[in-house]
Amino acid sequence: MKIISWNVNGIRAVAKKGFHEFVANEDPDILCIQETKAFEDQFIKEVWELDWYNYIWHAWEKAWYAGTAIFYKKWITTLDQKNTFWNLVYFSEHGRMTQIETEDFVLLNWYFPNGWQKVSGPNMLEYKLEFYDHLIQYVEWLKSQGKNIIMTGDFNIVHTEIDIARPKENVNSIGFLPIEREKISELFSYGYTDMFRHFYPDQLDTYSWWSYRAWARPRNVGWRIDYFVANNDFVEKIIDIRYMNEVMWSDHCPVMLELK
């Protein structure tokens, strides 16, 4: 099974740059999208040609911000799917999460708050940290039900210094603050694994996001903020992970996970 996760920074925009060809060539069994920036009817009207997939969509009340979606091949039987969490408003606001459950695992597709005050309001860093607290509570509840868990998406935090091209210059930057990085460490301490670092613990210069400024991407001055994370008991089912840096149509690149 192949799962691809990608922050497209606007699904209608990438649809004009080769999105359909990318999906057809890579042929993922499951495709997780973040920052769709579109209502479902806009997607159907302007983008939809993926007839061999079912999907679950989650948009905010405004089309220009956030949103997530999961596409899964029609042969995949889902036991459950969610895009609304009545008791967890953090996940429902802004369309930040979609979820499907198969016979083998629960797949959680996240678009985490970025924490930038000038974009999102004066308390967004606090909101971001609380979002992580709710995430940990939720996945621990799923695990207590005997579920295996795969989490993916734009986590909007760099975990370690080797996951960012300029660690010293960004020590006070949102997304690399010590208090944020501690939240990633806290999540992993509950028994979850960053699959890239599992397979490639010391690999350098692998990133998933590049600023549009100062030719950051051609120079590979990037941040690794897009992850696949699995509970430790499920790690043995995963074969490999790859950051698809050659795909250029967003400020993020897709990430591909292979399962047995």
Positions annotated as catalytic residues are: 154
Query: What is the distance between the alpha carbons of residues 105 and 131, in angstroms, rounded to a whole number?
Result: 22
Query: What is the distance between the alpha carbons of residues 67 and 233, in angstroms, rounded to a whole number?
Result: 30
Query: What is the distance between the alpha carbons of residues 93 and 85, in angstroms, rounded to a whole number?
Result: 9
Pairing relationship of beta strands 80-82 and 97-101 according to DSSP bridges: antiparallel
Q: CB–CB of 86/92 below 8 Å? A: yes
Q: CB–CB of 232/191 below 8 Å? A: yes
Residue with token string 């678009």: 111
Query: What is the distance between the alpha carbons of residues 258 and 9, in angstroms, rounded to a whole number?
Result: 24
Give the CA-trace dihedral at 132, 138, 236, 155, to 10 degrees: -30
Query: What is the distance between the alpha carbons of residues 154 and 163, in angstroms, rounded to a whole number?
Result: 14
